[in-house]
Structure 1
Amino acid sequence: MAAVEKGAMDSMPISRLITDGYGTDSSPETLCRVTRVALQEGLDIVRWQSTFENPVQIPLHDDSECIHFSFTHVLKGKALCSFHDGHRQRRFAIDEGSGNISFGRCRHGFYYQHGEIDNVTVMIRPELLSQWELEIDPPLHKALACDHCFLEGHRSGEMSATAHMLCSAMDRGASARSSLWLYGQSVTLVSLFMEARRDAECVYRVSLKDRQRLMRARGRLLEDLGKAPSLPELAREAGMSLPKLTRGFRQVFGNSVYGVFQQARMAQARSRLLAGEGSVMRVASDLGYANASHFATAFRKQFGINPSEVRFRS
């Protein structure tokens, strides 16, 4: 994998990365902004916004002593991370509109990115998380105990909306919202991760072959966000029955077929509006909406604000 490495083989502590960012120039090809809000001892919110026109690979070691509840709501390109899981080096892809739970004391690895990403992470020490008295399912409890945890694929509209509200507040500066509000939204985001895991055991009852078919079906579904294929067409192309397809989407992706499509469509709408790529009417039309008010309703349901409130931020 051709990439630009930071400091040759020297790894960067995560504590330094979230404080100082990735030390590059501010050229249009390489932009990186890290916003960190410390809420209390052992609890931080970190927003990572970066664009790398050329591939970048950053060797890291995790000295944070925190569990990372991380949600990516914009990804144009490719991003992944790699850590040793106790037996071998494993790579984990980062997906748009999806959240990961990560934890590992002093583990080493790297972060790779090519393109644009916008991500928000709640970082919390395990002892503080235990005080919140959230219900931690057995697979997550086991993963956290082994110090090389990376669990992918946590999705929901509420998670996306909460992450968006946190990012919007951090855009406006620390004084825009009280620390109590930020604390409450952090608790909400972490609790939504836990809710998304309630049906996690269902995923493991889906065979590897069917999961691969469902991944292909999801890729086909999201090929054109202006027009979704019909359910019978999608099932036929995936080689699955219609009931098995719809049931599989809920088990693996935590949403209905239309819900997965709609979430991706709204994420693209928000990304385009933030980048100044057309008016609200133009974006709505490109994404298949003949009625701007219907588009605004869907956008507000996803993110809690009207699309006209989204402004380009440099």
Structure 2
Amino acid sequence: MSLALSPQARDALGAWLETARALKGQSENTEKAYRADVIEFIAFMVTYHGEPKGLGALSRISVTDMRAWMASLRQGGASPRSMARKLSSVKSFYRWLSEREGFEPTAVLSARAPKFEKKLPRPLNEDAARAMIDSVGDQGRAGWIGARDAAVVTLLYGSGLRISEALGLTGTDLPLGASLRILGKGGKERVVPVLPVARDAVERYIRLCPHEMTADAPVFRGLRGGALSPRAVQKVTEAARMQLGLPATATPHAMRHSFATHLLAAGGDLRAIQELLGHASLSTTQAYTSVDEVHLMKVYEAAHPKAR
């Protein structure tokens, strides 16, 4: 699809991504998604108009062109959520490009994404979270494998780590202390607590692991000593989920949801939980928590000065 871009358009795309990387500190995966979305958009316009798309042609995209592109995505089976993300990428590129090239981007920016219902995460209850950790530890063929898997899932639940963050730990992070400094999405740094149970789980795994723990090596290893893959953790949690009769929503990421929800249910402050999770927006943290209205009203009545 990169052939759809003229040299000038390709240079502009690269400059936009570089600017976004510098200003927003976006992750490599986000950058790849942005690039793919914009290239896919330009490729469609090339096919639709039957001509290459240089910067001049890109500045003349019409409302009709945008409708045709959105219709093609829908016909191609793209979900409303996927369409919304692609449109967001294209709009972001056009805001930057229109400022640099001095054209009016209204036709692109006025396009509306299809509405979709946001799926709220489903945390496990406390008993199910504990059972998941225990069951994951029993799935491994070798003793150290089970200890490894239990340590990873304990960190997801006990510290609210993303799976990529847990698997990104290296020997320099050992031995784990009472807290851990994590570099999360967008280069955002945060400090998370490490509960004694999580430290014990990691220490047990380290004692059993047959691979040397050097400073620059990943803490969590695959069978042959390479970095453990996220898919391996997903597979072992799938097996544990089926054994326990838990729903399909009981994934590694659900352990992080559970961390947030259980903290809030125990009286934790929402903004403090936001910091622990590394969310840029408080609204994102609110979506991660599922505390019933009765509990929220109790918190309100206990904390609000007019309610006392």
* TM-score (normalised: structure 2): 0.29
Q: Which protein shows a greater Rg?
A: 2
**Structure with the higher fraction of residues in strand conformation:** 1
**Structure with the higher fraction of residues in helix conformation:** 2
Bigger relative CO (Cα 8 Å, ≥ 6 apart)? 2
